[in-house]
Amino acid sequence: MSPDSRAAPLSTRNSWHRVVAAWRRFEAFHDEMFVAPWRQGLEREARRQDDTFRALVMLDALGVENPVAYETMELIPHLVGDLHAWHQRMGQDTFGDPGTCC
């Protein structure tokens, strides 16, 4: 049995592509109808949660008692990349000592 004989017929592949394209159109429609009206609020809430989490980690790094210190200490290296956007969103043009961020 050759490998070409196991391949799906052309009409089956075309049908599959039509189903996938229809599903993608349905996903786009669903996103516009049910997600788009609340997207701004959802993004604002996600930023608020990120900022709260970031504040907990930063306070822990500064020595302030943190109730979830065991879980957050290992995440400090992952937050360094977000530090610049965070301090600008908090209204500070520069953050920390020279060379720390800006």
The predicted pLDDT at position 99 comes to 67
The predicted pLDDT at position 3 comes to 54
The predicted pLDDT at position 8 comes to 59
What backbone phi and psi angles, to 5 degrees, belong to 97? -75, 160
Range of the domain at 63: 10-102
Does any domain span residue 4?
A: no
Give the largest CA-CA distance in the chain: 70
- Mean pLDDT value across the chain: 79
d(CA 50, CA 63): 20
Does any domain span residue 3?
A: no
For the chain, which ranges sit under pLDDT 50?
1
Does any domain span residue 5?
A: no
Q: Which residues contact 86 (CB under 8 A, 6 or more apart)?
A: 50, 51, 54
Does any domain span residue 81?
A: yes
The predicted pLDDT at position 95 comes to 75
Domain total in the chain: 1
Residue 3: HSE in the Cβ half-sphere, 13 Å Cα cutoff: 0
Written as one letter, the residue type at 30 is: H
Does any domain span residue 53?
A: yes
